[in-house]
Amino acid sequence: MGLGNLYRRRIRVFTMAVVVYLDYKGVQQREKWVSKSKQTALWEKAHERNAKRILKLIIEMEGLWVKLGQYMSTRADVLPAAYINNLKQLQDSLPPRPLEEVYGTIQKELGKSMDELFSDFVNEPLATASIAQVHRATLLNGQEVVVKVQHDGIKTVILEDLKNAKAIVDWIAWAEPQYNFNPMIDEWCKEAPKELDFNLEAENTRTVAKNLGCRNLHDGNSNPNRVDVLIPDVIQATEKILVLEYMDGIRLNDLESLQAYGVNKQKIVEEITRAYAHQIYVDGFFNGDPHPGNFLVSKESPHRPVLLDFGLTKKLSSTIKQALAKMFLSSVEGDHVALLSAFSEMGLKLRLDIPEQAMEVTAIFFRATTPARESIESLKSLEDQRTKNMKVIQEKMNLDKKEMKRFNPVDAFPGDIVIFGRVLNLLRGLSATMGVHIVYMDIMRPFAESVLSGRGPSVNDRWIFDSPVHSGVEAKLRQLLIELANIDKILGIQVCAYKDGEVIIDTAAGVLGKYDPRPVKPDSLFPVFSVTKGITAGMVHWLVDNGKLNLEENVANIWPSFRSSGKEVIKVHHVLNHTSGLHNAMAGTSQENPFLMLDWDECLNQICISVPETEPGKVQMYHYLSFGWLCGGIIEHASGKKFQEILEESIVRPLQIEGELYIGIPPGVESRLAALTVDTDDLSKITATSSRSELPSTFQPQQIAQMATTLPPLFNTLNVRRAIIPAANGHLSARALARYYAALADGGKIPPPHSSSSKPILGSHPHIPKLTSKKAPKKRKCLGRGVATLPAINRSYEKVSSKEESEVTEGRSNIIDSSSSDDVGSSNVESSNPRTHVPGKVYRNPRIIDEFLGTGEYENLTLSNGGFGLGFKRFSSKDGSTIAFGHSGMGGSTGFCDVTNRFSIAVTLNKMSFGGVTGKIVQLVCSELNIPVPDDFLRYAADHTGDANPGRPMIN
């Protein structure tokens, strides 16, 4: 093709674009002068007129533009009917090439005359498409075949058109950066030339047929992911000729014939969708061109889809295949964390933190199809959503209109998913054209799940993270974990234990989630629910230890707005001992609106207006939800600081566990988050459990079972994970939690540095959250009885800029060291506190253990024989004596310490059970160390099934 022809093609394309544009602008002007009843007809005529113009141009230009027209012809969910009706001619009926050209190509490629090849050759083509045309023929041996013959000179045309398209896209990206389609055109330029070699198409056809098992449909294989489709056999192939088995079928766009043969259109399109789900998610090798012209329906009953034309076929790496499966399943589940990690794995990078908008956009890919007649409403809804999302982005980035116009939220777009997106759009258009309703989430889910299944130790020799074994008990523990995983009781887990201040166990195993096959590592972050209460309680004790709080002080003196409805007599120790009488506070409100938990100020307000159900100090009832907000309000009002600041100051920095213990995660740690799922066997057992008198009326087994079902999808969303929920939203590693309890077991003494053999080293994460507040809070005088108010505070983490993060990291050694907890507070606090600081300790009180347990001189602050001390669950031995304290959480995660034996252990897991797995682990470790097993864990059976006694599941 000479330069003259090249320029003429460009001029024709741009001229047509201008003509169509000006035509529609003219219709917009004329619309203002006609009645509403005539406006529809005006637009329909314009659509018909311009559709014919574009069809004429495409037929004249051929090449790449035919492919574009074929794609447009399938989008009945997007384009007006006039375009669909005109452009669908491109699917299989372009003007045929001269027979002389066809014969010449066949004879040149196959090296024989027509008579030497065929006993019969039908001159009229079955179909003529952009690259080739197909003729029916009979071989000399009598076999019926079709012969696909490439158009002469089409290779040059296609390659030149790709250059033209690339030039246009480059210009658009320069002029309108938010419409940068370069990743799409780059992928197209890479893949489209492959269609020009029919040897590749022949191999692709054989591969897909083998993957789908098309010749062995009735061999007794009952695999639910089998697909019932046909693919013709390859007889012979060269670069420009492809000879295939002839299959007599009905074109998908021949709706009248489909009806006449009694074809179930719904079933056909569903089976085609299943075939593509298998190709994409199971095989990682799929046909990238599913327009209606590439399908037939067999005439014989049962009618089955026939898949044709495998020229444009995409091969996916194992990583991309898994990422696409994870993207699909996370969008179905609403799991922001898995979605963002899927983006990261496939190389999709966003310029800003917009998880909710990313979820909405992804869900659009997999939404159920819309019939063509409803397409206008569907498009309007999508456009409204896009406008909303762009507004959110504009506000987040603080951009003006001009800047917003040039802003592209996508930083990097992987070419591997371009063809994937095209396939989904073509399938959507196919459904709209056929007038059927396809629910992608139902059809594709089993195939996507199969990609991420089989991650247990029996098939994964790296199921246990590669870290050194610290002791003989750890070796035995790892064997137990493998046994429990092989019976599907473990998905992902961490176990860490200290004995006499030294790490004796530090094991991570399994995967981060049901739909996240990445391995659990020592620094993975697990949501632990009520385990968080033990940390929040430790923060309250730290304020007491630093003279900013008194256990016998009335909460209303610290928190003035708390003083109402009989709560003025509630003391700090009542809150810690679960005897404030507010055990059901917030239960009704949170059930009506679970997202209320995300609003810190409103939750504190709900606590302030709540009414005690029992006299404070008289009845101990587990404050399953209210405990955190009660403690959180006390912490902020007593300290004059934000909750997260006290967490960092009192626990995280002294223990050197930065980056591995959060209550409400900051941006930047999403890649380390484990996702929750439920052990359905355990769930079925708890529903039959009888009521428990020591639990609040709103936290009985039936309610617990319901919570266990609803909590995983709720707490897998990023907006919930980022909220400060001090009773239930801890995200931490087992090694951070075990270190915390190792310090508590030793009276607050900070253990030696964690094992350096653990990778990454504990506390080595450079991410330090930047906390922001609207204005500096007022300081509250030590132990004063006057009114202290805390100004409104924005309870959220902000993403630290690279410069700020660098400055924070460089200055990290100057922030605080493990022995500087006495730096908190003013000098008058120091002088009013008789305790002297002990270097290397979190707490100064020499009787801090008694304070935690509510024993000794603190015994009068707790109920005798109560299950709780001051903020911690008392764990008793078989003979009834108190031997340990800590806190477990719904789902099985736990952390506790045995003071007598200087022992601490933490278990974090993401497959929520009701204590069976945790009980087995604690039994094994304690037994091996000759330490008494706490009764809470001793009640589990001696076998390795991990089954809990349904009469008393471990839930707190």
pLDDT digits (tens, 9 = 90+) for 911-929: 988 778 999 999 999 999 9
**Which residue from 407, 493, 484 is spatially nearest to 179, judged by alpha carbons?**
407
- The two beta strands, 677-678 and 911-912, are parallel
For residue 887 the two structure tokens come to: 């806190």
pLDDT class of 469 with cuts at 50, 70, 90 = very high
- pLDDT, residue 874, reads 93
Percentage of the chain exceeding pLDDT 70: 73
* CA distance linking residue 293 with residue 313, whole number of Å: 16
Q: Name residue, tokens 């009248």.
A: 256
Instruction: Let me know the angle formed at the C-alpha of 440 by 269 and 356, rounded to the nearest 5 degrees.
Output: 155
Does residue 378 have a pLDDT over 70?
no
Q: What is the CA radius of gyration of the chain?
A: 34
The DSSP 8-state label assigned to residue 529 in this structure reads B
Three-class DSSP labels, 629-660: HHHHHHHHHHHCCCHHHHHHHHHHCCCCCCCC
Rounded Cα gap, residues 192 and 260, in angstroms: 37
The rounded distance, in Å, linking the Cα atoms of 372 and 379 is 11
Q: 78-92: buried (b, 16+ CB within 10 Å) or exposed (e) per residue? A: bbbebbbebbbbbbb
Is residue 522 reached through a cis peptide bond, with omega within 30 degrees of 0 on the bond before it? Answer: no
Q: Where are the beta strands (DSSP E) in 98-153?
A: 118-121, 127-128, 132-139, 144-150
Number of neighbouring beta carbons within 10 Å of residue 230: 20
- The answer to whether the CB of 118 falls within 8 A of the CB of 140 is yes
Give start and end residues of each alpha helix (H) in 176-249.
182-191, 198-212
For the ranges 646-660, 717-731, 868-882, the lowest mean pLDDT is seen at 868-882
Average pLDDT, the chain: 80
Place of tokens 């009192």: 650
CA distance 315 to 779: 63
Residue 580: band (very low, low, confident or very high) from pLDDT cuts 50, 70, 90: very high
**More confidently predicted of 198 and 690:** 198
CB 371 within 8 A of CB 379: no
**584 Cβ partners below 8 Å, 6+ apart?**
613, 626, 696, 697, 698
pLDDT of residue 390: 63
Per the CB < 8 A criterion, the answer to whether 821 and 837 are in contact is yes
Q: What is the pLDDT of residue 812?
A: 33
State how far the Cα of 577 lies from the Cα of 580, in Å rounded to an integer: 8
Q: pLDDT per residue over 762-807, tens digit each? A: 988 875 555 544 333 444 443 433 333 333 333 445 443 333 333 3
DSSP 213-234: TTT-TTSS---TT----B-PPE
Q: What is the pTM of this model?
A: 0.73
pLDDT tens figures, 879-920: 666 679 999 998 889 999 999 999 999 999 999 887 789 999
Q: One-letter amino acid identity for 197?
A: D
The pLDDT of residue 741 is 98
User: What kind and span of H or E run contains 830?
Assistant: helix 827-832
Looking up tokens 């060269």 gives: 238
Residue partners of 307: CB distance under 8 A and separation at least 6: 208, 229, 230, 231, 272, 275, 287, 294, 295
**What share of the chain in percent tops pLDDT 90?**
43
92 is catalytic: no
Please report the pLDDT score of residue 647 as a whole number.
Answer: 96
**For range 582-588, the mean pLDDT:** 83
At residue 362, what are phi and psi to the nearest 5 degrees? -65, -40
pLDDT at 332: 80
What element of type H or E holds 541?
helix 531-545
Nearest to 365 by CA among 288, 305, 281, 444: 444
Q: Specify the 3-state DSSP secondary structure of 295.
A: strand
Burial class (CB in 10 A: 0-12, 13-18, 19+), 330: buried
Q: Token pair 């492809």 is at which residue? A: 242
CA atoms within 13 A on the CB side of 123: 4
DSSP state, residue 292:
G
DSSP state of 302: S
**Measured over all CA atoms, what is the biggest interatomic distance in the chain, rounded to whole angstroms?**
110
Per residue in 487-509, pLDDT (tens digit) is 999 999 999 999 999 999 999 99
pLDDT in tens, 602-632: 999 999 999 999 999 999 999 988 999 999 9
Catalytic hit among 77, 92, 289, 516: 289
Residue 266 pLDDT grade (very low, low, confident, very high; cuts 50, 70, 90): very high
Q: DSSP assignment, residue 130?
A: S
pLDDT of the residue at 949: 47
What is residue 830's predicted lDDT score, i.e. its pLDDT? 34
Helix 355-365 and helix 336-346, axial crossing angle in degrees, nearest 10: 80
Question: Which pLDDT does position 76 carry in this prediction?
Answer: 56
DSSP states along 30-97: HHTTS-HHHHHHHHHHHHHHHHHHHHHHHHHH-THHHHHHHHHHT-TTTS-HHHHHHHGGGGTBPPPP
Comparing 656 with 39, the larger pLDDT belongs to: 656
d(CA 883, CA 930): 13
In this structure, the number of other CB atoms found within 10 A of the CB of residue 350 comes to: 17
Which comes out higher in pLDDT, residue 220 or 933?
A: 933
302 preceded by cis ω (within 30°)?
Answer: yes
> In 809-902, which ranges are E strands?
873-876, 882-888, 894-898
Report the C-alpha gap between 252 and 426 in whole angstroms.
14
Question: 928 with 473: CB under 8 angstroms?
Answer: yes
Other C-beta atoms closer than 10 Å to the C-beta of 175 total 9
**Cα 566 to Cα 558: distance, rounded to the nearest angstrom:** 16
Helix axis angle, 154-175 to 182-191, nearest 10°: 170
Q: How far apart are CA 581 and CA 591, in angstroms?
A: 20
- Tens of pLDDT, residue by residue over 39-74, are 888 888 988 998 899 888 888 877 777 777 766 666
Give CA–CA dist 886/873, Å, rounded: 5
Separation of alpha carbons 377 and 65, rounded Å: 29
Range of 395-404, 442-451, 545-554, 753-762 with top mean pLDDT: 545-554
d(CA 234, CA 210): 12
How deeply is 803 buried, as exposed, middle or buried, from its count of CB atoms within 10 A (0-12, 13-18, 19+)? exposed
- 42: buried, middle or exposed (CB in 10 Å: 19+, 13-18, 0-12)? middle
DSSP label at residue 779 = P
Task: Count other Cβ atoms within 10 Å, centred on residue 901.
Answer: 17
Is residue 403 pLDDT above 90, yes or no?
no
Scan for tokens 């234990």, then name that residue.
497
Between 734 and 802, the more confident residue is 734
Answer yes or no: are the C-beta atoms of 298 and 306 closer than 8 Å: yes
Give the mean model confidence (pLDDT) for residues 743-749: 95
